[in-house]
A and B are shown apart, each in its own frame.
Chain A
Amino acid sequence: MSADGGLNAVPAGARLRGDLRLVADMIERGSRVLDVGCGDGELLAFLAREKSIDGRGMELSQSGVNACVRHGLSVIQGDADHDLQDYPSDAFDYVVLSQTLQATRQPLRVIEHLVRIGRRAIVSFPNFGHWRIRLNLMVHGRMPRTPVLTHAWYETPNIHLCTILDFIALCAELGVGIERSVTLDRHGLPYRLKPQGTLANLMAEQALFLLRGARSQAPA
């Protein structure tokens, strides 16, 4: 275990969930990172250990927050809808919102805050345009449940689902620049498909976007 910010109880070399691995790859060593919806702190712990980042987290569940703080991570109990507004602009190099956007009440406001607080924002979400979801609804006429979207309609926290093309359209509307994007299968392994295409919107189960912060938008 390293002495500088090493973490207890998070086994060294533990494997990250596939999509988190890709998120981690986008983050530069030594940067300041805010992970919104950080769960039990898997990504933050990995980044602190492997990339010496200065990490902060926000998590809704008490058990998640407690696990993080117990492991020496700086995490507050809060949620993306209510607790992003306090942060000053450009406070972080990266703000990560992993698999959480669809569960927020005001995704548009949340994205605006992400690109305000961070010089860059990393957003991943399940693609509701995936063929299995479309087929499910068409053939069975029932609300789709997939390995990525596991909840029944009456208990799902996912109240604002979107497709990859929806997300790209929203970014364009908000004037938010997309620096990189990756489409993923259900295991978080990348597809070689450009997210802007209709095929990706049909084939990919998840997508991951690296957005430019509001202060670092390229001039129009």
Chain B
Amino acid sequence: MTVPSPARETALAPDRPGFQLVVEAPLALDCGVQLGRYTIAYQTYGRLNAQRSNAILICHALTGDQYVVGAHPLTGKPGWWETLAGPGKVLDTERYFLICANVLGGCMGSSGPMELNPATGRPWGLGFPVITVADMVRAQTKLIDHLGIETLFCVTGGSMGGMQVLQWAASFPERVFAAVPIATAARHSAQNIAFHEVGRQAIMADPQWCQGNYLEFGKRPERGLAVARMAAHITYLSEQALHRKFGRNLQDRSALTYGFDADFQVENYLRHQGIAFVERFDANSYLYITRACDYFDLAAEHGGSLANAFRGTRTRFCCISFTSDWLYPTSENRAIVHALNAVAANVSFVEIETDKGHDAFLLEEPEFFATLRGFLDGCARHRGLAAP
């Protein structure tokens, strides 16, 4: 076991369930900065077995957090993977020890632009160093060290969570027994970057943003962040799902108003999504995390060949995509599979038929669940994990 760097663990906050790990040793970031004394907020579910062989690291997506299961401390809504994780579910807390950490740069207790810079005692704001997906994963390794886990049974996650899964498998292959990247890509496409840039510009165009120093002025760029969320939310749904849900239906009215109110249900829905989002998310965090996604290019890290990222890997992979996901389409997921095939890795790949778009990875999709359950069961047998 690697001896963890000096670190101490505390409860996150009286009103926030979960834990917080404070790491004193600096973290060398991709941007060249040494991030000294940082925190990782995390949640665990289930119990780590005596062999420490049943841990599953769940990596959350762009606007997710560590509250995978149970009521969210800010919104009161169920955890974001409540459908998938829990006693007797696919990510069975009676069998596996689930870990989920708020990403570096996040706003739910891990070090990020919203937290206080220990050097100045003021919020980091844009003084926080730009972080990458690899940095997020590096920080997570400190948590896994701290928990005394040498090899994770599985690392899984969708969307940006999937990018972290790929980064884990590429950077720490011996610590990942199985990897399940879902609805993701090994690099951000021009279109992905373009959508993120729209979101960032919306935030920065809000006068309340104050060049990133809004916390010091007691302000919040809520309008900008809400617009960013609205634009992004469209990319999470398929055209078909939007049409099925809203069509051209009018919102609480029987005729067009010839004005700019939310005449259409879809407008009302997006506005609601935007408003709900700003209650729980920090605008600067949104800038940092979208940037981390944009910078992600696993092949570029390995001499331009994605296959090189996985050469010699013994990890068992299961890649999953969804037919109507146009944000991280099947073709991007298949590119990962092709790279894994090129090094004769142990890989399964399933494309799930659904019209729910990118968001399908968060929803109850029986084929998706059955596939993941079967894959994990098979891996558990190879890992020698007893059935619950």
The judgment on whether A and B are partners is yes
Q: Whole-angstrom distance between the alpha carbons of A74 and B378 in the complex? A: 9
Q: Which residues of the partner chain A approach B316 to less than 8 Å between Cβ atoms?
A: 74
Stretch at the interface among A17-25, A63-71, A100-108, A212-220: A63-71
* B374/A69 in contact, CB under 8 A: yes
Q: Which one of B342, B348, B375, B382 has the greatest number of beta carbons of chain A within 10 Å?
A: B348
**Taking the nearest CB of chain B, how far is it from the CB of A34, in angstroms?**
9
Contact of A66 (CB < 8 Å), options: B347, B371, B384: B371
Contact of B350 (CB < 8 Å), options: A4, A62, A87, A92: A62
* A71/B351 in contact, CB under 8 A: no
Q: Which residues of the partner chain A approach B348 to less than 8 Å between Cβ atoms?
A: 65, 68-69, 73-76
**Interface residue? A177 (CB, 8 A):** no
**Interface residue? B373 (CB, 8 A):** yes
| Mask of B324-357 contacts with A, CB within 8 angstroms, 1/0 | 0000000000000111011110111111110000
* A76/B341 in contact, CB under 8 A: yes
**Interface residue? B239 (CB, 8 A):** no
Q: Which one of A5, A8, A66 has the greatest number of beta carbons of chain B within 10 Å?
A: A66
Q: In the complex, which residues 1-55 of chain A have their Cβ closer than 8 Å to any Cβ of chain B?
A: 3-8, 54
Q: Whole-angstrom distance between the alpha carbons of A201 and B276 in the complex? A: 71
Q: Which residues of the partner chain B approach A88 to less than 8 Å between Cβ atoms?
A: 342-344
Q: A86-B338, A88-B342 are in contact. Are A72 and B374 (CB under 8 A)?
A: yes
**Interface residue? A91 (CB, 8 A):** yes
**Interface residue? B370 (CB, 8 A):** yes
**Interface residue? A56 (CB, 8 A):** yes
Q: Which residues of the partner chain B approach A3 to less than 8 Å between Cβ atoms?
A: 381, 384
**Interface residue? B367 (CB, 8 A):** yes
Q: Whole-angstrom distance between the alpha carbons of A69 and B351 in the complex? A: 12
Q: Which residue of B lies closest to A92 (CB)?
A: B344
Interface footprint category on A? 20 to 34
**Interface residue? A83 (CB, 8 A):** yes
* A70/B371 in contact, CB under 8 A: yes
**Taking the nearest CB of chain A, how far is it from the CB of B345, in angstroms?**
9
**Interface residue? B318 (CB, 8 A):** yes
Contact of B375 (CB < 8 Å), options: A69, A83, A91: A69
**Interface residue? A181 (CB, 8 A):** no
Q: Whole-angstrom distance between the alpha carbons of A8 and B379 in the complex? A: 12
* A66/B367 in contact, CB under 8 A: yes
Q: Which residue of A lies closest to B382 (CB)?
A: A5
**Taking the nearest CB of chain B, how far is it from the CB of A202, in angstroms?**
40
**Taking the nearest CB of chain A, how far is it from the CB of B320, in angstroms?**
9
Q: Which residues of the partner chain B approach A190 to less than 8 Å between Cβ atoms?
A: none
Question: How many chain B residues touch A (Cβ–Cβ < 8 Å)?
Answer: 30
Q: Which residues of the partner chain A approach B338 to less than 8 Å between Cβ atoms?
A: 83, 86
Q: Which residues of the partner chain B approach A75 to less than 8 Å between Cβ atoms?
A: 348-349
Q: Which residue of A lies closest to B349 (CB)?
A: A76
**Interface residue? A78 (CB, 8 A):** yes
* A62/B382 in contact, CB under 8 A: no
Q: Which residues of the partner chain B approach A87 to less than 8 Å between Cβ atoms?
A: 341-342, 344
Q: Which residues of the partner chain A approach B197 to less than 8 Å between Cβ atoms?
A: none
* B342/A66 in contact, CB under 8 A: no
Q: Which residues of the partner chain A approach B343 to less than 8 Å between Cβ atoms?
A: 88
Q: A5-B382, A76-B347 are in contact. Are A66 and B370 (CB under 8 A)?
A: yes
Q: A71-B374, A74-B348, A75-B348 are in contact. Are A5 and B381 (CB under 8 A)?
A: yes
Q: Which residue of A lies closest to B375 (CB)?
A: A69
Q: Whole-angstrom distance between the alpha carbons of A5 and B382 in the complex? A: 6
**Interface residue? B377 (CB, 8 A):** yes
Q: A76-B337, A86-B338, A86-B342 are in contact. Are A6 and B347 (CB under 8 A)?
A: no
**Taking the nearest CB of chain B, how far is it from the CB of A207, in angstroms?**
29
10 nearest A-B residue pairs (beta carbon): A72-B378, A70-B374, A76-B349, A91-B344, A86-B341, A86-B338, A69-B348, A86-B342, A69-B371, A74-B348
Interface of A with B (CB < 8 Å)? Answer: 3-8, 54, 56, 62, 65-66, 68-78, 83, 86-88, 91-92
28 interchain pairs, CB-CB under 8 A: A8-B374, A8-B378, A56-B346, A56-B347, A62-B350, A62-B351, A62-B367, A65-B348, A69-B348, A69-B374, A69-B375, A70-B373, A70-B374, A70-B375, A72-B374, A72-B379, A74-B316, A74-B347, A75-B348, A75-B349, A76-B349, A77-B351, A78-B337, A83-B338, A83-B341, A87-B341, A87-B344, A88-B342
Task: Apart from A69-B375, A77-B349, list 5 A-B contacts with CB within 8 A.
Answer: A6-B381, A56-B346, A70-B370, A78-B337, A86-B341
